[in-house]
A and B are shown apart, each in its own frame.
Chain A
Amino acid sequence: MSDGHDHSNGHDYHNAPLSEPAQRVKALEQLLVEKGLVDPQALDALIDTYEQRIGPRNGARVVARAWSDPAYRKRLLDNAAAAIEELGYPPGPQGEHMMVLENTPRVHHLVVCTLCSCYPWSVLGLPPVWYKSTAYRARAVSDPRGLLEEFGVDVRDKEVRVWDSSSEMRYFVIPERPAGSEGMSEEELAELVTRDSMIGTGLPKSPARPVRQTRTAK
């Protein structure tokens, strides 16, 4: 396909030059590879791991185990990182210091990182776009109830506690086990646990009725 020289200065839809940040990353990566500090294949593997293997399904398994096994729940509350590693999820660079927050009928926990985007990678994967937004980071602190209303979480009868993550400590919410989930297996329970319910901006799915993808906003 290449015809060798195509130094077009105009609009070239088919061979768009790299964007400015893409060029910067490429140059940085090449320099580091030449210095022997990074290995391109190791970078590919890292990206694959975070995109495919680490994600909120890990956290859902942790929550389902905690709902089913009181001894595990206690270990999780006492030493979250160790209990999470028990299920085969080692702490990543962000996961060493982790605290689990348990929602109750009286207390609802909400996690934010006001300064940047600290997030419990080992259980939730990388944070969603909105978690990193200036607006979420500001409003979780200034108006958490309003924010939760916008996310469709009813906290009228609850105390709301907001937790600001940092490089020293990351937080992870165990949502309340939904009514009607008695007798479900751990695998079935894990299916009810959504990513947002472990951040505090959502609730687990209810087993009583099938959950639709497109719920009409109220």
Chain B
Amino acid sequence: MSVTRADDLIATARALAPEAMFSEPWEARAFAVAVALCESGRFAWSEFQQSLIAEIGAAEAAGHATVGGPDYYRHWLSALTRLLETKGIVDAAELAGRIAEAGPPPPPQDPRGRHI
């Protein structure tokens, strides 16, 4: 990554709601679930930290820079889910079933429109 590119990314991150802690409501829920489970002793904060470091590290190794906001909390959510599954607190298949019940997520925007 060139220095100029890094400058651009910091400027972008600084311009993104400089004071807001969460850019979307789900980020706050993901944050609170992790803190609540740590406070009730389900895991140590350092365990969650290691899981988060692994998620961010993997994304950055694959060339996806974190600019902050939703992409950061995506890592957070993946780190939390992975930790809960590893510890047997949540069953991966059960969680996948719940997500499937909620229906398919909105399709990505496709400027070419749908084809039949």
- Give residues in A with beta carbon < 8 Å to B: 16-32, 35, 37-39, 42-44, 46-47, 50-51, 92-94, 115-118, 125-126, 128-136, 138-139, 143, 146-147, 150, 166-168
Contacts and interface: CB of A to CB of B under 8 A. Distances in A.
What 8 A-B pairs come out closest when comparing CB atoms? A129-B68, A135-B9, A130-B13, A27-B98, A22-B26, A133-B13, A20-B105, A134-B65
27 contacts: A17-B106, A18-B105, A19-B24, A20-B105, A24-B77, A26-B29, A26-B102, A28-B80, A28-B98, A32-B37, A37-B89, A44-B32, A51-B21, A51-B22, A118-B49, A126-B21, A128-B19, A129-B68, A132-B72, A133-B13, A134-B9, A134-B60, A134-B67, A135-B67, A138-B1, A139-B3, A167-B46
A30 B77 CA distance: 15
A196 to B, nearest CB: 10
A55 to B, nearest CB: 9
A115 B56 contact: yes
A48 B101 CA distance: 29
Interface in B21-40: 21-26, 28-33, 35-40
Contact of A30 (B11, B28, B89, B98): B98
Interface of B: 1, 3, 5-14, 16-26, 28-33, 35-40, 42, 45-46, 49-50, 52-53, 56-57, 60, 65-70, 72-74, 77, 80-81, 84, 89-90, 94-95, 98-99, 101-103, 105-106
A148 to B, nearest CB: 12
A47 B49 CA distance: 19
Given A25-B33, A37-B37, A116-B53, A133 B9 contact: yes
A147 B45 contact: no
B81 to A, nearest CB: 6
Nearest to B75: A116
Chain A interface helix/strand/loop/mixed: helix
Given A27-B102, A115-B53, 17 more contacts: A18-B26, A23-B105, A24-B81, A28-B80, A28-B84, A28-B90, A93-B45, A117-B72, A126-B21, A129-B13, A129-B16, A130-B18, A132-B13, A133-B9, A133-B65, A134-B9, A138-B6
B28 to A, nearest CB: 5
A50 B10 contact: no
A18 B102 CA distance: 9
Contacts of A22: 24-26
